[in-house]
Amino acid sequence: MADKFDVIVIGAGPGGYVAAIRAAQMGLKTACVEKWIGKEGKVVFGGTCLNVGCIPSKALLEASHKFIEAKHDFAGMGIQTGDVQMDVKKMIARKDTIVKNLTGGIAGLFKANGVTGIEGTGKVVGAKKVEVTGLDGKATTYEAENIIIAAGSVPVEIPPTPLTDDIIVDSTGALEFTEAPKRLGVIGAGVIGLELGSVWNRLGSEVTVLEAMDSFLPMVDAAIAKETQKLLKKQGLDIKLGARVTGSEVKGQEVIVKYTDGDGDQEMTFDKLIVCVGRKPYTKGVIADGLGIDLDERGFIHVDDQCRTSVPGVYAIGDCVRGPMLAHKASEEGVMVADIIAGHKAEMNYDAIPNVIYTFPEVAWVGLTEQEAKAKGIEVKVGSFPFAASGRAMANNATEGQAKIVADAETDRVLGMHIVGQHAGEMIAQGVIALEFGSSAEDLALTCYAHPTMSEAVHEAALAVDGHAIHMANRKKRK
Ligand code: FAD
Ligand code: AMP
């Protein structure tokens, strides 16, 4: 038997590495096991988020957006450029450098906090035992008072479109194209599909998004989803709703995709196809048989509100358990569980987790949509403000979109905030804080916002809840 720890975390994604650092900060002897092999052939920490998720996708989104600005918007600001070109290989290399710096940074944080990083594949083999199979195939068993499973998730694959080496790819493959494909198909108009479709559309691909559902972004407030759909269409994304992909055939360097829509069977030919139909929990080989750690019918590890599994001392967090598959949700769960293990009271507010889609403009929301609130039988009042009426948005060349606040008609309490606009992902923090502190729309309306900022649209939306917006004509009668 090797070393004994207070806590062993399996997986070093944003759930696991944050849990490990927090546990060590709480004075617990902590180890974190990771098996991810990075591009340089060595084990790297950071999980999906840092290696092939949040960060690399944002690196490409930022670069491709700057390319569009340089190509189309600079001239209107008086900036003269020559023929603007994108060096895709350089863009990908920059992304790789960011990933390398960040994953290396986690190793540094482990060292600084006294977390033992263990390279290999971890498996829970007993309530207090973790077996790690190293890269050399040698197994070592560690003892741990507490175990946190943070094994994450992997992309869903569907039988009609089996992945190939370089034509039919998942989100990971779509971060590695060396040039913009001429015709690009994307299956799934979810968050990842829209982000990756945007990157390559900006770089010149003709992008078609095939989405099985009839509605666009059904989890987003209807007014915001409608405006987003219009804006993405204007940018050239051809989003086909009600189009269910049923088959594919790779022929030479192209793929014929078959789908059915309201008009019957259809097909389209693409040079590359990205399959973005969701992610599923990854629990393969993480838990030995017969331990009594339950999975639900969708394969998630079953946990209670505080991430306890059915076996005392064993916790599970992040993408491998219920709830939104988001890095910040995983991290918050990591902190909560580390605090509980350290003997503190801790809980999470699952009703105040923000969501962001990093298209341009960004889409961000927190709390209830107007439709969800009404479906719950809550009488609501709503305030919206268009960025077209914002001085800062005009100066920024970003007048598209709106901010919207949903409040309880009786109590004025903020129930949800919904934004489509430049920097929506930054602005939504205001909505999260409003929900966390049980703020009223009036609280936001009485707050002094810096001028000129994009956030003033949130202020005006709060004022508009009671028909008091200053910089637009109010629809409602003032009291
Ligand atoms: P992961 O990050 O998946 O980490 C799990 C880790 O566990 C992995 O490193 C894996 O190798 C390791 N592991 C698994 N089994 C074992 C084992 N047996 N032994 C040792 N190690 C093991 N979320 C956001 O919030 N914002 C975004 O902008 C965003 N963009 C995304 C873009 C893309 C393209 C993708 C794919 C995802 C994106 N996500 C985003 C989702 C986000 O990446 C995940 O929600 C997040 O990484 C989940 O964290 P996690 O720690 O639960 O799991
Ligand atoms: P998300 O779960 O947000 O990543 O989104 C994945 C999207 O893929 C969902 O909107 C699904 O409806 C969509 N989807 C899943 N299977 C298919 C399919 N066979 N054809 C088209 N769209 C699909």
Q: What is the pLDDT of residues 13-55, one digit of tens each?
A: 999 999 999 999 999 999 999 999 999 999 999 999 999 999 9
Contact present, 145 and 7 (Cβ < 8 Å): yes
Closest CA relative to residue 388, chosen from 276, 472, 459? 472
406/465 Cα distance (integer angstroms): 8
How long a stretch of residues is the chain?
Answer: 479
Which ligand number lies closest to the CA of residue 326? 1
pLDDT tens column, 160-197: 999 999 999 999 999 999 999 999 999 999 999 999 99
Residue 393, both tokens: 């948005």
CA of 219 to the centre of ligand 1 (A): 22
DSSP bridge pairs for 83: none
12/263 Cα distance (integer angstroms): 47
Residue owning the nearest CA to atom 43 of ligand 1:
49
Closest CA relative to residue 32, chosen from 334, 342, 285, 323? 334
CA of 53 to the centre of ligand 1 (A): 7
The DSSP bridge pattern shows strands 139-149 and 116-119 to be: unpaired
20/24 Cα distance (integer angstroms): 6
pLDDT for res 113:
98
Q: Among the CATH numbers 3.40.50.620, 3.50.50.60, 1.10.260.40, 1.10.420.10, which is that of 168-277? A: 3.50.50.60
Which ligand number lies closest to the CA of residue 135? 1
352/346 Cα distance (integer angstroms): 16
CB 15 near ligand 1, within 6 Å = yes
Q: Which amino acid is at 427?
A: M
Domain locations along the chain: 4-155+280-348, 168-277, 353-464
Interval 454-468 mean pLDDT: 98
Q: Hey, which of 36, 54, 332 would you mutate to test ligand 1's pocket, going by the most ligand atoms within 8 Å of its Cβ?
A: 54
DSSP bridge pairs for 116: 31
Q: Which helix (H) or strand (E) holds 34?
A: strand 30-34
CB 185 near ligand 2, within 6 Å = no
Topology match between the domains 4-155+280-348 and 168-277: yes
CB 323 near ligand 1, within 6 Å = no
CB 327 near ligand 2, within 6 Å = no
Q: Is 222 helix (H, G, I), strand (E, B) or coil?
A: helix
Residue owning the nearest CA to atom 47 of ligand 1:
49
275/199 Cα distance (integer angstroms): 15
pLDDT for 1 beyond 90: no
pLDDT for res 225:
98
Q: Is 115 helix (H, G, I), strand (E, B) or coil?
A: coil
C-alpha gyration radius of the chain? 24
469/462 Cα distance (integer angstroms): 8
pLDDT tens column, 281-308: 999 899 999 999 999 999 999 999 999 9
CB 245 near ligand 2, within 6 Å = yes
pTM: 0.97
Which ligand number lies closest to the CA of residue 215? 2
CB 14 near ligand 1, within 6 Å = yes
Q: Which amino acid is at 213?
A: M
pLDDT for 477 beyond 70: no
Closest CA relative to residue 15, chosen from 325, 345, 340? 325
CA of 281 to the centre of ligand 1 (A): 10
CB 281 near ligand 2, within 6 Å = no
CA of 14 to the centre of ligand 1 (A): 7
CA of 157 to the centre of ligand 1 (A): 17
Q: Among the CATH numbers 3.40.50.300, 3.40.140.10, 3.50.50.60, 3.30.565.10, which is that of 4-155+280-348? A: 3.50.50.60
Helix 88-113 vs helix 54-68: angle between axes, to the nearest 10 degrees? 140
461/453 Cα distance (integer angstroms): 14
CB 187 near ligand 2, within 6 Å = yes
Going from the C-alpha of 149 to that of each of 183, 201, 371, 423, the distances in angstroms are 41, 38, 36, 34
187/210 Cα distance (integer angstroms): 5
What fold is seen in the domain 353-464? Enolase-like; domain 1 (3.30.390)
Residues identified as active-site: 451
What is the Cα 323 distance to its own chain's centre?
12
pLDDT tens column, 204-261: 999 999 999 999 999 999 999 999 999 999 999 999 999 999 999 999 999 999 999 9
Nearest ligand 1 atom to alpha carbon 123: 18
435/415 Cα distance (integer angstroms): 7
| 80 class by beta-carbon count within 10 Å (0-12 exposed, 13-18 middle, 19+ buried) | exposed
474/465 Cα distance (integer angstroms): 9
CA of 418 to the centre of ligand 1 (A): 26
Q: Which amino acid is at 141?
A: T
Contact present, 203 and 67 (Cβ < 8 Å): yes
